[in-house]
Amino acid sequence: MTMKTLDGVDVKGKRVLVRVDFNVPLAHGRVMDSTRIVESLPTIRELRQNGAKIILLSHAGRPNGKRDVSLSLRPVMDELSFLLREGIYFADDCIGETPSSLVNSLKPGEIALLENLRFYNEEETNDPLFAEKLASLGDIYVNDVFSVSHRAHASVVGITKYLPSYAGRLLEKELHMLESTLTRPSHPFMAIVGGAKVSTKISLLKSLAHRVDTLVIGGAMANTFLYALGHNVGRSLFEETMVKQAIHILQELIRRDCRMILPKDCVVAKAPEPGAKSALVSVSEVPEDQMILDVGVATLEDIIEAIDQSKTVVWNGALGVSEYPPFDYGTKLVARHLAKKTKAGSITSVAGGGDTVGALNQAGCLKDFTYVSMAGGAFLEWLQGYPLPGVEALRESGEG
């Protein structure tokens, strides 16, 4: 995809509005995980070095258009200031006189963070007047956030109608990585898809069925496929309304001669609780009063074998209830094997989605994958081949 980037853009002395993702976990007025803030630093530092006046825009949580002090971005200002080793300014609003006065007082190289965009409903409804008010605070707009680029929001799409608009370094990096590894993957190409419901990932499964050489389905969504194949799944979570869709996917995989790996054995227990008494059983022997909560040893052997035969692996969703031991075993084993193969240079591994990132972090191998996307919905929509509104707005189209 051809996009307008910061290459060759003169930002000296100009007000540059940068859409970042500072939707980080907050507790007791402190940032609990600064990963997303750290990821934004390369673009911020480049703009500072080139003499821009930097105005940062972000949302946090879901305040539903109302001011919520627990979702204020003020703690983020403190964390960003600590990371940059330099003071930054904060405006307790994102439009109006307060941010306008602050922005107009900025000197080249100085940074201002504006308050939570979602304190206004107009942000999520992509209100043109709200977008215009945001745009009035800058001379240039930079989108540096893939994770909300699937949202047609005012600060992502609407604002681009009023200012010259470019992709920041983080967005540019993520799109390049996804484009090179997922749009043009080296084969054999393998996908691992987990999670709770087939209904939330049916489009993803259909898309992957046409592209991959091996498809692994785990998590609770695998139960729907097992049920469709006639297995008793006990008290396990499954979606009876999605059985026909599951059968259609199975038929498509057979038609394409694509290998599908479903659980052949599983770990069961009466409830997904830490340390719950569990047992390893065949999928044909799930007790009526038990739940399938992780993949079994024989299934893991199949997955590891498929990984060893693959050149590219994309992963979204845990294979079991990875929050609770012992049901995190399968996910951790696969994650660590993928990390080992990646470090050895024999495989390209890309993972994304909130629960996937958390599982990789728990496994201690988050940094060992070729690329891990912090985006959830945007990552899924990209995998499905959907155009992302925020990215489309940055396509080359002559002058901004």
Among candidate residues 4, 15, 19, 36, the one labeled active-site is 36
Judge whether 66 counts as a catalytic residue: no
> Which residue, among 167, 68, 164, has the nearest Cα to 392 in the 3D structure?
167
Q: Give me the helix-helix angle, 243-255 and 202-209, nearest 10°.
A: 10
Contacts of 155 (CB under 8 A, 6+ apart): 19, 57, 59, 117, 123, 131, 134
Judge whether 133 counts as a catalytic residue: no
* Count, residues in the chain: 400
Element (H, E) at 57: strand 53-57
Element (H, E) at 209: helix 202-209
Pairing of strands 265-269, 278-282: antiparallel
Among candidate residues 74, 173, 197, 336, the one labeled active-site is 197
Among candidate residues 51, 109, 377, 400, the one labeled active-site is 377
Among candidate residues 61, 65, 109, 354, the one labeled active-site is 354
Residue with tokens 């853009």: 9
The CA-based dihedral angle spanning residues 373, 375, 380, 386, taken in that order and rounded to the nearest 10 degrees: -110
Judge whether 36 counts as a catalytic residue: yes
Whether residue 39 contacts residue 168, with contact meaning beta carbons closer than 8 Å, is answered with no
Paired tokens of 31: 């940032």
Handedness of CA 159, 160, 166, 172 (dihedral sign): positive
Paired tokens of 335: 């994650």
- 3-class DSSP assignment, residue 269: strand
d(CA 287, CA 272): 15
**How many of the other CB atoms lie within 10 Å of CB of 179?**
12
Whether residue 116 contacts residue 63, with contact meaning beta carbons closer than 8 Å, is answered with yes
Burial class (CB in 10 A: 0-12, 13-18, 19+), 108: middle
Judge whether 377 counts as a catalytic residue: yes
* CA 394-397-400 angle, 5° bins: 70
Residues designated catalytic: 36, 197, 354, 377
